[in-house]
Structures are given as C-alpha cells and as structure tokens.
C-alpha cells in the first residue's frame, strides 16, 4: 500500500494536469472543428458554384458556336446574294443590248429576199386585200321554241 500512497498523489497531480490541459485545449479543438465544418460547407458551396458556372460557360460556348454558324450562313447568303445580283445585272445588260439590237433591226426595212420568201398574195397585194364585210342580218339563226324542260 505504500506504493499506492506514493503513486496516488502523483496520479492525482497527473489527473489535475490532464484536466487543465484538456480545459485549455478543448476550446481550441472545438474551434478547429467549427472551422473545419465551415470550410467543408464553403468547399461544398464553392463546388456547387463551380459546377453552375461550368454549366453556364458550356451554355455560352454552345451559343457562341450557334452564333458562329449563323454568322457563317449569313456571310454565305450575302455572297450568294452578291453573286446573284451580279448575274442579274449581267443578264439585264444583255437584255438591254438585245432590245436595242432588236429595236434597231425593226426600224430597218425588211430585206427583199426575206419578204419574198414569206410573201402571201392575199396580204401583200393591196388590190386583193378587202376589208371585212358587214355582218348580214341573217347570219345568226333565230331561236327556236323552248324545250319541254323550260331550258
């Protein structure tokens, strides 16, 4: 028992020192636990925000791709319109030249050989040409009796 008497005070002192150490360290441990919990919550919120921003960026990227495709299509349409306008302009100029050529040709007299080739005596001989006669009174038959149906 004497050993016990010698050890017991030391155990009591050790217990008091451990209790004091626990009393001093306990708030710090609790503070670190709270900080760790807060850091985990902030990390989770930051991760959610990063995922949301990644989705938004992906949406912007897809929209930019669509806009780039629309821009390419609009440029292509502009080139097509410009090409068509040039072609229409050339065709219009050609039509104008043809109209002038035809007008010049129609202002000249019909060549004799061509006129004789297509000549018809009833239209080329003024003596053979006569105006259409007047309509004769008996040219149109009169109406007959009505049919049985009243038509």
Phi/psi for 126 (5° steps) reads -60, -25
Residue 51's pLDDT band, with cuts at 50, 70 and 90, is very high
Work out how many domains the chain is built from and give that number. Answer: 1
Instruction: Report if residue 149 sits inside a domain.
Output: no
Instruction: Report if residue 4 sits inside a domain.
Output: no
Enclosing domain of residue 23: 11-104
pLDDT at 44: 95
pLDDT at 128: 58
Residue 56 confidence (pLDDT) above 90: yes
Residue 132 confidence (pLDDT) above 80: no
Instruction: Report if residue 96 sits inside a domain.
Output: yes
Contact 40, 46 (CB under 8 A): no
Q: Which two tokens stand for residue 95?
A: 């039509």
pLDDT tens digit sequence for 57-72: 999 999 999 999 999 9
pTM over 0.85: no
């Amino acid at each position: 028992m004497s050993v016990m008497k010698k050890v017991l005070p030391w155990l009591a002192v050790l217990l008091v020192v451990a209790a004091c150490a626990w009393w001093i360290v306990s708030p710090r441990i609790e503070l670190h636990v709270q900080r760790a919990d807060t850091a985990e919550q902030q990390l989770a919120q930051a991760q959610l925000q990063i995922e949301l921003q990644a989705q938004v960026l992906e949406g912007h990227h897809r929209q930019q791709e669509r806009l780039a495709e629309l821009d390419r299509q609009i440029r292509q349409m502009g080139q097509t319109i410009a090409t068509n306008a040039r072609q229409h302009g050339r065709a219009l100029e050609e039509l104008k030249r043809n109209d002038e050529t035809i007008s010049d040709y129609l202002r000249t007299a019909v060549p004799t050989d061509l006129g004789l080739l297509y000549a018809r005596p009833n239209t080329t001989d003024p003596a053979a040409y006569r105006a259409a006669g007047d309509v004769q009174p008996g040219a149109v038959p009169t109406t007959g009796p009505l049919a049985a149906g009243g038509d």
